[in-house]
Amino acid sequence: MPEPLDWLPDGTPYSQRFQDRYHSDGNFGLDQARDVFMRGCDLPQAWANQPQWRILETGFGLGLSFLVAWQAWRADPARPNILHFISCEAWPVSAADLLRAAPAELEPLARELHDQLWGLLAGVHRLSFDGAACCSPYI
């Protein structure tokens, strides 16, 4: 069963379980994901010209780090041929909430993710995108 979300009046998703917002800025968390996650991991510079790259994230949340990494990977001419994004999530949100929370510029990618996030049960799931050989997140 998906983790229920509340939606604050400003449109920010909120977790009753943790009494916390999912992101702290007014840009749907996009600036935060780019500053903290991408720059914090030195991406895309770190994966440049590598044959493949793996990212391990604890807490998939609303999938924003994955979506930002996937967007950067797609746009990078020096990207690795394969991107594995491995994530653990104890309380996954619904596919509908993930799509609702996505920033407009990431909506096409969020829709692709949404379309595979149905009927998830406890356990390991492999989701494949961009021909399976290119971007294979695990949640």
Structural domains of the chain, count: 1
Could you tell me if residue 1 is inside a domain? Answer: no
Domain range enclosing 109: 6-138
Closest C-alpha among 27, 25, 26, 22 to residue 60:
22
CATH number of residue 103's parent domain: 3.40.50.150
Q: What is the per-residue pLDDT across 48-98, written as a single tens digit (0 to 9) for each?
A: 999 999 999 999 999 999 999 999 999 999 999 999 999 999 999 999 999
Q: Bridge partners of 135?
A: 83, 129
> So what's the pLDDT on residue 136?
62
| Cα separation values, 111 from 9, 16, 72, 102, 129, Å | 24, 25, 17, 9, 12
Please state the pTM of the whole predicted model: 0.92
